[in-house]
Amino acid sequence: MFPLVEFPELVQHYAPFFASVFTEKAFVQFQRYISGLIVSENKTVEGINRLFVLESRNQSSLNRLLTESPFSVEALNQARLALLASLSGTQMKRKGVLSVDDTHLTHYGRHFDQIAYLYDPAQKRHMWAHNLVNLHYSDDLTDYPVAFQLWKPADLERIEIGLPAAGVKLTASKFALKDEDPKKWRNYLLGVWRRHQSKPAVAELYQSKLLMARQMLRAWVADNPTLKLPVAFDNWYTKPAFCRFLDKDLQLPYVGALAVNDEVLLATGTESLESFAQRLKEEHQTAVASGGKRVFHKISFDYKGERQTYYTYCRTHRIRHFGKQRLVISHRQADLSDRPVFTNSNRLYWQATGIMRIRRHRWPIEVYHEEGKAEGLDQYQVRDFAAIYRHIALVAVTYSLLRAAPHDEALFHKLQRQLKFELEDSAAFWRRTAQAQSLWALAYFIAVAVAQGRTLHEVMAPLLAAVCY
Q: How many other C-beta atoms can be found within 10 angstroms of the C-beta atom of residue 1?
A: 13
CA distance 287 to 303: 31
Q: Provide the pLDDT for residue 42.
A: 84
> Do 406 and 440 fall within a single domain?
yes
Tell me whether residue 160 is in a domain.
yes
How many domains does the chain contain in total?
Answer: 3
Tell me whether residue 108 is in a domain.
yes
> Do 258 and 349 fall within a single domain?
yes
> Do 357 and 387 fall within a single domain?
no
Tell me whether residue 413 is in a domain.
yes
Q: Provide the pLDDT for residue 423.
A: 66
Q: Which of 80, 98, 65, 59 is nearest to 237 (CA)?
A: 98
Tell me whether residue 41 is in a domain.
yes
> Do 163 and 56 fall within a single domain?
no
Phi, psi at residue 128, to the nearest 5°? -75, 125
Pairing of strands 231-233, 97-106: parallel
> Do 105 and 77 fall within a single domain?
no
Q: What is the pTM of this model?
A: 0.91
> Do 387 and 448 fall within a single domain?
yes
Q: How far apart are the first and last CA of the chain?
A: 11
Tell me whether residue 240 is in a domain.
no
> Do 159 and 204 fall within a single domain?
yes
Tell me whether residue 45 is in a domain.
yes
Tell me whether residue 28 is in a domain.
yes
Q: Provide the pLDDT for residue 413.
A: 78
Q: Provide the pLDDT for residue 124.
A: 85
Which of 329, 361, 393 is the C-terminal boundary of a domain?
Answer: 361
Range of the domain at 23: 9-82+382-467
> Do 386 and 461 fall within a single domain?
yes
> Do 266 and 346 fall within a single domain?
yes
Q: Provide the pLDDT for residue 467.
A: 66
Residue pair 19/28 in contact by the 8 Å Cβ criterion? no
- pLDDT of the chain, 469 residues: tens digit per residue: 567 878 888 999 999 999 999 999 999 999 999 998 988 888 888 888 878 765 645 678 888 999 998 899 999 999 999 999 999 999 999 999 999 999 999 987 788 999 999 988 878 888 999 999 999 999 999 999 999 999 999 999 999 999 999 999 999 999 999 999 999 999 999 999 999 998 999 999 999 999 999 999 999 999 999 999 999 999 999 999 999 999 999 999 999 999 999 999 999 999 999 999 999 999 999 999 999 999 999 999 999 989 999 999 999 999 999 999 999 999 999 999 999 999 999 999 999 999 999 999 999 999 999 988 888 899 888 999 999 999 999 999 999 999 998 888 888 777 777 776 676 666 677 777 777 777 877 887 888 888 888 888 888 877 777 666 5
Tell me whether residue 192 is in a domain.
yes
Q: Provide the pLDDT for residue 250.
A: 98
